[in-house]
């Protein structure tokens, strides 16, 4: 009998089993940590998810091989900021990271070494993410005649945002600050739309389109580049 969160060897590939009651069918995904996950709508159907994973063994292996590798935050390296590569520069002392405009383009300068340098870089990115997402969330809420919800950020493994209408709150992945601004704006519109439509019905997508127009290019961008965003900062 297979169990939720069980991990076993799928012909040389570690496969984690996951039960998602909202899932409509069995599926396979690669999570933010680079692990293959077989998803089923119930524990009883985990056996079907495992069989499906076996049939997709080559696809899983190819996706894992193609997954971007992170390189941490290192002086001289770059990180994407709003879709544009930005250099990381180290300064003497223990100053906080800040975004600066240099003759060679935008750069993030920070004090600290090793883990301290990395923490300062990521703290800046998180602050910027919270500010941008709070702004876009407020704009979309006002368009719908709603009170601006509380905005929080985190680093979820797979979701870019989650809405809790009963609490009037939305939580986002801080990694959206790494994506182009229009993609971040799409996710904000998506979550605000959930304040009035809890599901993903045609009525929900009509609200999203009212807020930003055609959402399909932004969804496609996240599908194509999401793994790369999750790899940023991880070594």
Domain 78-231: homologous superfamily in CATH: Metalloproteases ("zincins"), catalytic domain (3.30.2010.10)
How high is the pLDDT of residue 187? 98
Query: If you search the block for the tokens 């990115």, which residue do you land on?
Result: 125
Q: Do strands 169-173 and 84-90 pair parallel, antiparallel, or not at all (unpaired)? A: unpaired
> In terms of Cα–Cα distance, which of 126, 133, 159, 160 is closest to 148?
133
Query: If you search the block for the tokens 């005649």, which residue do you land on?
Result: 145
For the chain (235 residues), the mean pLDDT of every run of 10, in chain order, is 87 90 90 84 93 91 71 90 95 91 92 93 97 98 96 90 94 97 98 95 97 96 86 82
Note the helical H segments in the chain.
Answer: 46-55, 57-66, 115-143, 181-193, 202-212, 216-231
How high is the pLDDT of residue 19? 94
Q: Give the pair of three-digit tokens for residue 54.
A: 């076996």
How high is the pLDDT of residue 66? 67
Q: Which residues contact 114 (CB under 8 A, 6 or more apart)?
A: none
**Every domain range in the chain assigned CATH 3.30.2010.10:** 78-231
How high is the pLDDT of residue 107? 96
pTM equals 0.75
> In terms of Cα–Cα distance, which of 178, 153, 158 is closest to 233?
178
- Give one DSSP letter per residue of 50-69, joined into a string: HHHHHHTHHHHHHHHHHSPP
């Amino acid at each position: 009998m297979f169990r939720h969160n069980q991990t076993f060897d799928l012909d040389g590939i570690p496969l984690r089993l996951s039960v998602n009651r909202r899932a409509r069918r069995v599926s396979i995904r690669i999570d933010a940590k680079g692990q293959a996950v077989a998803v089923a709508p119930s524990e009883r159907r985990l056996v079907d998810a495992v069989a499906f994973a076996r049939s997709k063994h080559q696809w899983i292996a190819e996706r894992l091989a193609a997954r971007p590798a992170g390189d941490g935050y290192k002086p001289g390296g770059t990180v994407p900021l709003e879709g544009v590569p930005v250099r990381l520069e180290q300064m003497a002392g223990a100053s906080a990271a800040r975004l600066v405009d240099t003759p060679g383009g935008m750069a993030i300068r920070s004090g600290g070494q090793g883990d301290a340098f990395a923490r300062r870089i990521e703290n800046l990115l998180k602050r910027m993410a919270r500010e941008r997402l709070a702004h876009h969330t407020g704009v979309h809420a006002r368009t719908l005649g709603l009170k601006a919800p509380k905005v929080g950020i985190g680093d979820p493994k797979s979701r870019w945002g989650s809405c809790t209408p009963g609490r009037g709150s939305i939580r986002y992945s801080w990694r959206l600050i790494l994506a182009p601004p229009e993609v971040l704006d799409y996710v904000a519109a998506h979550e605000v739309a959930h304040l009035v439509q809890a599901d993903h019905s045609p009525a929900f997508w009509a609200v999203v389109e009212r807020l930003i127009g055609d959402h399909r290019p932004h969804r496609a961008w996240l599908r194509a580049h999401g793994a790369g965003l999750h790899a940023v900062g991880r070594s």
